[in-house]
Amino acid sequence: MNNNDLANLIFPNINKTIEDYEKIYPKRKSNDEQAVTRFAPSPTGYMHIGGFYQAIIDYMIAKNTNGIFYLRNEDTDSQREVSGASKLILDTLKYYNIVPKEYEFNGEIVGNYGPYIQSERKEIYHAFIKYLISIGRAYPCFCTKEDLDEMRSFQESHKVRPGYHGNFAKCRKLSVEDQINLIKEGKPYVIRFKSNGDFEKKFRFIDEVKGLLMLNENDIDDVIMKSDNKLPTYHFAHIVDDYLMGTTHVVRGEEWLSSVPKHIEMFEAFDFNPPKYIHTPLILKKDGNSTRKISKRKDPEASMSYYKELGYPKTAVIESLMTIINSNYEQWHDANPDKTYLDFEYSPKKMSSSGALYDLMKLEDISKNIISQMTKEELYKESYEWAKNYSESLTKLIELDPDYYKAILNIEREQAKPRKDIAKYSDIESLIWYMYDELYNPTDYEWGKVSDEQEISNILKTYMDKYFTTDSEEWFSKVKELASELGYAANMKDYKKDPDNYKGNVADIATVLRVALTSKSKTPDLCEIMCILGKDRIEKRYRKFYKD
Ligand code: GLU
């Protein structure tokens, strides 16, 4: 009895060899520069910002090199799987235009290297495991949960490095005969990789972000195939899939860095070249005076749905992530204002190796800028699209009179210095509500220096009687004339020279006109607001303050 007998006993129906699969999935016809990257999430029901930023990097690397970015569904852990999760992942990528060239969804396989869903690749993994068993580099392990618990507590109490290694790797020492007999008896088993490594020895490893690292060799006989569903573990699937799918760059979280020695050893066992690795730093956030990891449990912004629900423009979300992806991104963007992130050349060397601090204020700034550059038609379209999904009240306002809504959006827009107060579509309603009689029912008026009711009445009445205009050319000079007539300085210079000579200045007058109309002391251009509201509505609002 030899290893071949063992391999055939475990996988009697696996007839294809690694060479067969190499023919089915030939090396991709690309030149050395063209990268093949993949996003390989587990469908656990959530699109984490950390995964999404890895997907952007994957996409950028492929784009920069005219290569291929594909999506692989890593669903080997059926207990953690949540239905609908793979749809959410693909939808999120598509929503942000980070579209994979190859993927599988709903029975449709796009690309020649599929299936792209791991649970559908069982036979392939089995062929690779069968080979390892036949060359003596993998074996069945019959240790029970109790055996492993015992091993762990022994290692803990004796301060021994944890894991199934050296003398702790009990089943490694079983003869092939014993292994075959135990399988025939029906004993449950997993398959473990047989490591040849020596933990005391170091080897050189280059991570594209962290640079040259000296790592300890692996000596742990890791599980590569689970007992219940006969699916591979992440470690093994990574080797097989990234080899057959021709991945050149693996972008993944730095929590996988400690697994690199096992991955390298497994690639070597097959005589495959490992891909390049880009281990991305954790996304951090400021919390008071300290920084900590963004947490799925505590921070709503850890989920990509947060940004969509609040209505941040897609480009703003991506650009805010670009600023933590590459430290020179903002500088590059300032120097190339007409270019988009798609023109940017990603470099792992310009990635922080210690942690990426994500700042929602930065997102707000980027977003305000992007929204300020939109035309009214663009903002109308985007915000309406958002409202239909997330805000019944804004949808109602828009549908009441789309042109009126557009006119409001156009205040201080499509000009050299546009307004920058909208950071997300969910801000809009709270910034424009006073333009709608349906919503205008203020309880609080933000009066400034002038708060005397008689004086307010006087200012408003005189304005409506003598100086009202919606002609932007003469609007401000009329307000100045009103100021002069009522004893306020018409310009600031005069006022500063001799403040005691006046009741106040033209800004105080403008504030009264503004607050009486909107209840707010800060609004965009008042003349534009008046023009849109129209004389009747203005008069109606002002009348409330008239005294006899
Ligand atoms: N399925 C793994 C995860 O979700 C992917 C890691 C990788 O990209 O290789 O963490």
Q: Which of 247, 256, 276 to mutate to test the pocket of ligand 1 (most atoms within 8 A of CB)?
A: 256
Contacts of residue 378, Cβ cutoff 8 Å, sequence gap at least 6: none
Helix, strand, coil distribution of the chain in percent, nearest 5 = 50, 15, 35
Q: How far is the CA of 40 from the centre of ligand 1 (A)?
A: 5
Which numbered atom of ligand 1 lies nearest the CA of 74?
Answer: 1
Which residue positions in the chain have pLDDT lower than 50? none
pLDDT for 445 equals 97
Helix ranges, 453-505 (H): 453-462, 472-485, 492-497
- Give, in degrees to the nearest 5, the angle at Cα 56 between 302 and 72: 90
Residue pLDDT, tens place only, 389-422? 999 999 999 999 999 999 999 999 999 999 999 9
pLDDT for 470 equals 87
Which numbered atom of ligand 1 lies nearest the CA of 255?
Answer: 10
CA distances from 215 to 192, 195, 204, 264, 486 (A): 22, 16, 6, 11, 81
* Contact criterion met (CB below 8 Å) for 174 and 139: yes
Q: How far is the CA of 321 from the centre of ligand 1 (A)?
A: 19
Which numbered atom of ligand 1 lies nearest the CA of 51?
Answer: 4
Which numbered atom of ligand 1 lies nearest the CA of 242?
Answer: 9
Contacts of residue 364, Cβ cutoff 8 Å, sequence gap at least 6: 423, 424
- Name the nearest CA neighbour of 275 among 42, 74, 61, 112: 61
* Contact criterion met (CB below 8 Å) for 315 and 303: no
Residues of 73-102 as b/e, b for ≥16 C-beta within 10 angstroms?
bbbbbeeebeeebbebbbebbeebebebeb
Distance of CA 428 to the CA centre of its chain: 23
Q: How far is the CA of 108 from the centre of ligand 1 (A)?
A: 22
> What is this structure's pTM?
0.92
Residue closest via CA to ligand 1's atom 10 equals 41
Helix ranges, 373-419 (H): 376-390, 392-400, 402-409
- Between CA 535 and CA 463 the distance in angstroms is 12
Q: Which of 80, 234, 251, 259 to mutate to test the pocket of ligand 1 (most atoms within 8 A of CB)?
A: 234
- Between CA 86 and CA 231 the distance in angstroms is 19
- Between CA 340 and CA 342 the distance in angstroms is 5
Q: Is 91 helix (H, G, I), strand (E, B) or coil?
A: helix
* Number of residues in the chain: 548
Q: Please give the structure tokens belonging to residue 486.
A: 């009522």
As a three-state string, the secondary structure of 25-55 is CCCCCCCCCCCEEEECCCCCCCCEHHHHHHH
Contacts of residue 456, Cβ cutoff 8 Å, sequence gap at least 6: 447, 450, 512, 516, 545
* Contact criterion met (CB below 8 Å) for 319 and 246: no
Q: Which of 52, 74, 82, 258 to mutate to test the pocket of ligand 1 (most atoms within 8 A of CB)?
A: 74
Residue closest via CA to ligand 1's atom 3 equals 41
Residues with CB under 6 A from ligand 1: 40-42, 74, 234, 238, 250, 252
Peptide bond into 115 cis (omega under 30): yes
- DSSP letter, residue 247: -
Domains in the chain and their CATH numbers? 1-24+36-137+194-280 (3.40.50.620), 297-346+358-372 (no CATH), 376-435 (no CATH), 453-545 (1.10.10.350)
- Between CA 548 and CA 535 the distance in angstroms is 21
pLDDT for 78 equals 81
